[in-house]
Amino acid sequence: MTSLGDQFHALADPTRLAIFDLIARDPSSVRVLSDQLPVSQPAVSQHLRVLREAALVQRSVDGARHIYRVDPAGLRSVRAWVEAMWDEALDAFGEAAETANTKEGRR
């Protein structure tokens, strides 16, 4: 089982984040990815392995090519965490705004 920490650690590397961003826009092979980045094909393969182990991308076979795409199931935990943080931030903002309005009304 992959942890949320593993997923964030995988995305913390700038090259892996760039690869993930490219895959999120258009599922791609290692060659297509390496053509778009200043990284060798073996290096792209290594980064993809880390992203796969973190359940952020999945691989399918198309003839001799391996096509990588975002793994929606693996991405659910990241999305749930962001949404929870967003809800907490909005609640805190609402409370702060209400407190500020109450203090303004007393003056």
Residue 107: pLDDT above 90? no
Q: Cα angle at 48 between 72 and 33, to 5 degrees?
A: 100
Into how many domains does the chain fold?
Answer: 1
CATH number at residue 101: 1.10.10.10
pLDDT tens readout for residues 18-75: 999 999 999 999 999 999 999 999 999 999 999 999 999 999 998 999 999 999 998 9
Q: Mean of the pLDDT values across residues 101-107?
A: 68
Judged by DSSP in three states, 34 sits in: helix
pLDDT at 1: 66
Distance CA 103, CA 91 (A): 18
pLDDT at 94: 82
> Whole domain around residue 52: which residue ranges?
4-106
Asked whether residue 103 carries a pLDDT value surpassing 90, the answer given is no
